């Protein structure tokens, strides 16, 4: 085991996921003097981070592979050697998943902290000398207290009985997937919560290599943890607000794009996060709000809990009403009809499908007996299969499909191209705002569809006139049927 070198900073990041991988890549690029080991229990994931072919990295993020090419093997390393990486680290970042609990106390709402706790125990056992432990994962308020207790209870039982010391900081991550590199390189703010000035300064010094000191905010631990949950809740609340108005527009003749634009010009409101859609997805908004609801109830703040719960309820409703509209427009039945699903990731520019609205919408349509042709530029067929997780619905590859003529009800195929997705379908649903879906050659491709056919633009990204002039019927979120 190497000793800590007082001249150089050594970081260990536990968790090589959507946050750990990109965040550490950017730190490694901006701070060549720091050595970073990103470690994970998942051997397959680490192997993928080490792949020579950079198009096979486990996380797709614009700009990420270029940085990895520059720093991997120089001052950024991916491995499963968790213990040694902890032992030589001055700073350990905890970047593991904190999903909603599926069973036990608080199931369905509280965050499951078993991975965080296991990291804290491992750091307690394997660290040497003084270690700064940084919560990067999103944690319930007061988790740092638990981490501190675990760390403090771990002094060596055997000679040479050298005392270990720890400082715990909260440094939540605000990156959004699809723009992670940009967000990390030019953050609106970096938040550091803690009570140890020296440790806070050590972490701030790292960020100052590329972030203006004015953007580095320092708070106490609990404010920092609560800020992260609140920021996500506020963003999600804006989406539920605009989605509620989208439904209003559809029944009154308003147009959500016009309304959003007009609302957003008020500087006090701002124009971001006012795009209506199928409801927010992603691994965090729902989980973090549920956690806020759980904590509010725990502290007896029932009105607060109800307020945030309504943001989730509206989101679920928005998600469910899409499939109802599709069925309604297709003469009340989609049994045996073929539909194209464009987009399976929860937003554009990521291969992440966690809590993607496409999953529930696809499941609802399959349940009604539709045959789906699913296309996504970055999500793999295996991922879609895992997400749909429906043994009763058949998955056919393109080749099998051409043989079998895709005859089963409630089945789906992975379409490798948009053209293949359009073959003989009664409707096209645009569910993710991928750039390539904004440039579809509707005039040419409309000939592949059955007639009469519908386009359901759930992200308001297609050019309406081109669709209509191609002889297709168009429904847009927050506008309804467009003629």
Catalytic residues: 173, 228, 284
**Is the distance from CB of 135 to CB of 172 less than 8 angstroms?**
yes
Q: Which stretch binds ligand UGA (CB under 6 A): 4-12, 185-193, 269-277, 393-401?
A: 269-277
Nearer to ligand UGA, 210 or 273 (CB): 273
What is the contact mask toward ligand UGA in residues 213 to 232, using x (rule: CB under 6 A)? -------------------x
Identify what 232 binds: ligand UGA, ligand NAD, none; CB under 5 to 8 Å per kind: ligand UGA
Q: At what angle do helices 20-30 and 64-71 cross, to 10 degrees?
A: 60
Residue 65 near residue 57, CB atoms below 8 Å:
yes
- To ligand UGA, the closest distance from the beta carbon of 209 in angstroms equals 21
356 and 397 Cβ atoms separated by less than 8 Å:
no
Min CB(97)–ligand NAD separation in Å? 4
Closer Cβ to ligand UGA, 173 or 457, answer by number: 173
Residue 197 in contact with residue 218, Cβ under 8 Å?
no
Piece in contact with ligand UGA (CB under 6 A), picked from 40-48, 98-106, 171-179, 204-212 = 171-179
Please state, in angstroms and rounded to a whole number, the distance separating the CA atoms of residues 155 and 161. Answer: 8
The option from ligand UGA, ligand NAD, none interacting with 347 (CB < 5 to 8 A, set by class) reads: ligand UGA
Q: Tell whether residue 412 is a contact of ligand UGA (CB under 6 A).
A: no
441 binds, among ligand NAD, ligand UGA, none (CB under 5 to 8 A by kind): none
Q: Between 97 and 460, name the residue whose CB sits nearer to ligand NAD.
A: 97
Query: Interface with ligand UGA by CB under 6 A: which range of 64-72, 173-181, 302-310, 319-327?
Result: 173-181
Judged by CB under 6 A, does residue 177 bind ligand UGA? yes
Residue 275 binds ligand UGA, judged by CB under 6 A: yes
- Whole-angstrom distance, CA of residue 303 vs CA of residue 301: 6
Alpha-helix runs per DSSP H in 135-271: 143-152, 180-185, 197-207, 221-252, 256-264
Got the DSSP string for 208-232? TTTS-GGGEEEE-HHHHHHHHHHHH
Record the tokens describing residue 214, joined without a space.
């004015």
Closer CB to ligand NAD, residue 286 or residue 371? 286
What is the closest distance, in whole angstroms, from the C-beta atom of residue 329 to ligand UGA in the complex? 22
Q: Are strands 473-476 and 480-482 parallel, antiparallel or unpaired?
A: antiparallel
Asked whether the beta carbons of 368 and 325 are under 8 A apart, the reply is: no
Which residues ranging from 137 to 156 are in contact with ligand UGA (CB under 6 A)?
A: 138
Cα 183 to Cα 203: distance, rounded to the nearest angstrom:
18
| Minimum distance of ligand NAD from residue 337's CB (angstroms) | 35
Beta bridge partners of 217: 191
Site for ligand UGA contains 460 (CB under 6 A): no
Interacting residues of 398 by C-beta distance below 8 A, sequence separation 6+ = 413, 414, 415, 416, 420
Torsion angle of alpha carbons 56, 98, 211, 86, nearest 10°? -80
Closest CA to 232 of 178, 286, 295, 169: 286
Q: Is 176 in the site for ligand UGA (CB under 6 A)?
A: yes
Q: Which does 286 bind (CB under 5 to 8 A by kind): ligand NAD, ligand UGA, none?
A: none
Output the smallest distance, CB 239 to ligand UGA, in A.
Answer: 5
Nearest distance from C-beta of residue 245 to ligand NAD, angstroms: 26
- CB–CB of 398/311 below 8 Å? no
CB atoms within 10 A of CB 66: 12
Write down the least CB distance from residue 391 to ligand UGA, Å.
Answer: 27
Residue 245 binding ligand UGA, by CB under 6 A: no
Does residue number 210 form part of the binding site for ligand UGA (CB under 6 A)? no
What sign does the dihedral 262-266-269-273 (CA atoms) show? positive
Q: Does 346 bind ligand UGA (CB under 6 A)?
A: yes
Q: How far is the CB of 143 from ligand UGA (least distance, A)?
A: 15
State how far the Cα of 16 lies from the Cα of 153, in Å rounded to an integer. 27
Instruction: Give the residue, chosen from 151, 175, 257, 292, that forms a contact with ligand UGA under the rule CB under 6 A.
Output: 175
Q: Are 421 and 411 in contact (CB under 8 A)?
A: no
Q: What is the dihedral of CA 256, 261, 265, 266, to 10 degrees?
A: 10
- Sole window of 55-63, 280-288, 370-378, 416-424 interacting with ligand UGA (rule: CB under 6 A): 280-288
Interface with ligand UGA: number of residues (CB under 6 A): 20
Instruction: Give the three-state DSSP class for 127.
Output: coil
Which chain residues interact with ligand NAD by CB under 6 A? 14-20, 40-42, 45, 82, 95-98, 115, 118-119, 137-138, 173, 175, 177, 283-284
Binding site for ligand UGA (CB under 6 A): 138, 173-177, 232, 235, 239, 273-275, 277, 280-282, 284-285, 346-347
């Amino acid at each position: 085991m190497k000793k800590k070198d007082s001249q150089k900073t050594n970081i260990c990041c536990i968790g090589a996921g959507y946050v750990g991988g990109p965040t550490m890549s950017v730190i490694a690029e901006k701070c060549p003097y720091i050595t970073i080991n990103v470690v994970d229990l998942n051997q397959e994931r680490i192997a993928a981070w080490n792949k020579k072919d950079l198009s096979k990295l486990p996380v797709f993020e614009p700009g990420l592979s270029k940085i990895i090419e520059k720093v991997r093997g120089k001052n950024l390393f991916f491995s499963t050697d968790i213990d040694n990486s902890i032992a030589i680290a001055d700073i350990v970042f905890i970047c593991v998943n904190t999903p909603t609990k599926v069973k036990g106390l608080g199931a369905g709402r509280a965050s499951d902290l078993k991975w965080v706790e296991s990291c804290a125990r491992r750091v307690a056992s394997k660290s040497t000398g003084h270690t700064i432990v940084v919560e990067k994962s999103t944690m319930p308020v007061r988790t740092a207290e638990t981490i501190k207790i675990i760390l403090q209870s771990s002094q060596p039982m055997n000679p040479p009985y050298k005392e270990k010391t720890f400082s715990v900081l909260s440094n939540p991550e605000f990156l959004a997937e699809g723009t992670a590199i940009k967000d990390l390189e030019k953050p609106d703010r970096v938040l550091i919560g803690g009570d140890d000035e020296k440790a806070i300064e050590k972490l701030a010094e790292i960020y100052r290599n590329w972030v203006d000191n004015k953007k580095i905010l320092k708070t106490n631990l609990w404010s920092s943890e609560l800020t992260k949950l609140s920021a996500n809740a506020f963003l999600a609340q804006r989406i539920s607000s605009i989605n509620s108005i989208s439904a209003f527009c559809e029944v009154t003749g308003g147009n959500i794009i016009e309304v959003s634009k007009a609302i957003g010009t008020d500087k006090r409101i701002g124009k971001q996060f006012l795009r209506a859609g199928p409801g927010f997805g992603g691994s965090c908004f729902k989980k973090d709000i549920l956690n806020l609801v759980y904590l509010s109830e725990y502290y007896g703040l029932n009105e607060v809990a109800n307020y945030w719960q309504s943001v989730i309820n509206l989101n679920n409703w928005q998600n469910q009403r899409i499939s109802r509209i599709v069925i309604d427009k297709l003469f009340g039945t989609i049994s045996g009809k073929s539909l194209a699903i464009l987009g399976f990731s929860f937003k554009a520019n990521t291969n992440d499908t966690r809590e993607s609205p496409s999953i529930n919408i696809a499941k609802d349509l399959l349940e009604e007996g539709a045959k789906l042709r699913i296309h996504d530029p970055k999500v793999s067929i295996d991922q879609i299969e895992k997400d749909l997780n429906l043994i009763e619905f058949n998955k056919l590859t393109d080749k099998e499909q051409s043989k079998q003529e895709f005859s089963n009800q409630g089945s789906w195929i992975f379409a490798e191209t948009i053209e293949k997705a359009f073959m003989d379908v009664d409707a096209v649903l645009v569910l993710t705002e991928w750039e390539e879906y904004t440039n579809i050659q509707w005039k040419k491709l409309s000939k592949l569809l059955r007639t009469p056919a519908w386009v359901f633009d759930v992200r308001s990204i297609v050019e309406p006139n081109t669709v209509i002039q191609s002889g297709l019927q168009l429904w847009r979120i927050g506008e309804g049927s467009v003629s």
